[in-house]
Amino acid sequence: MSAPVRSHSGRVVLVTGSGRGIGRAMADAHADAGAAIAYLDHDAALAQEAAESAKARGVKAVAVSADVADYDSVAAAIEIATAALGPIDVLVNNAGISPKSGADKRRVDAFAMDPAEWRRVIDVNLTGAFNCTRVVLPSMRDLGRGRIVNVSSVAGRTYCDIVAVHYAASKAALIGFTKHLAGELGPLGITVNALAPGRIDTPLMRGTAPEANEAARMATPLRRLGTPEDVADTCLFLTSDQARFVTGQVIDVAGGWLLT
């Protein structure tokens, strides 16, 4: 990780779904850049392990657990984080799910999808981002600044046959969410951007059939899968002072997989 030394000193950053994978990498990158970090995850043990690791490196950190689909759960977790670290001025909405089915761990096709599964994916991936944003906005408004990064996906920008329709719809909606908020919150000094990762080597990705991941690698001009650190580096830029005039943008982190 090549973070600028102390580039985020004085910032208080909350990353959702930061117990592992891309979320953990993004939170750790901000910690290494000097920020105080709230590791929020539905798995309290994972969040705690991440926070303890950061503290061992001299980072001011706290672990909080919440179901991002539940507004009251989010509000309670962020209250704890704020009491420990101060007002949140950087929010990374990363928490998300992408259920797979069957022995081959393939997507669930629309005609076989349980409506309850549809609702859960939308609730976590989209409503979760709204809930977290809604809770932190008053502090960002009072501070007169803020950075919000929403983690979408290339599947929210084009058809991707390795994910299901609920995941794609939730990630496409996050792009609209990002663009509208950028316009609404810009006058308050708050920037809002989105990341659209391609195939990234994470525990979630490893739940996909190996041949699907290999096909994705071969379809990527750089001929490799991405790493969580690839996404973290881009996120770190968007939350930095260097990106102060960047808002409402969707940045593909996909190795050229989506070139249109």
Which structure tokens are listed for 7?
A: 């580039």
What does the alpha-carbon distance between residue 59 and residue 256 come to, in Å, rounded to a whole number?
Answer: 34
Of the ranges 101-105, 133-137, 212-216, which is most confident?
A: 133-137
What residue type is 29 in one-letter code?
A: A
Q: Which one is catalytic: 39, 71, 159, 167?
A: 167
Largest separation between any pair of C-alpha atoms in the chain: 51
> Catalytic annotation on 167?
yes
Question: In the chain, at which residue ranges do the beta strands (DSSP E only) sit?
Answer: 12-16, 36-41, 61-65, 90-93, 146-151, 190-197, 250-253
- Give yes or no for residue 40 having a pLDDT over 90: yes
Residue-wise pLDDT for 109-168, tens only, equals 888 899 999 999 999 999 999 999 999 999 999 999 999 999 999 988 888 877 889 999
200 within 8 A of 228, measured Cβ to Cβ: yes
Taking each continuous run of H as one helix and of E as one strand, the counts in the chain are: 8, 7
Matching residue, tokens 């750790």: 28
Residue-wise pLDDT for 152-187, tens only, equals 999 888 888 778 899 999 999 999 999 999 999 999
Question: In 54-201, at which residue ranges do the beta strands (DSSP E only) sit?
Answer: 61-65, 90-93, 146-151, 190-197
- Can you list the domains of the chain with their CATH numbers? 12-253 (3.40.50.720)
- Give yes or no for residue 1 having a pLDDT over 50: no
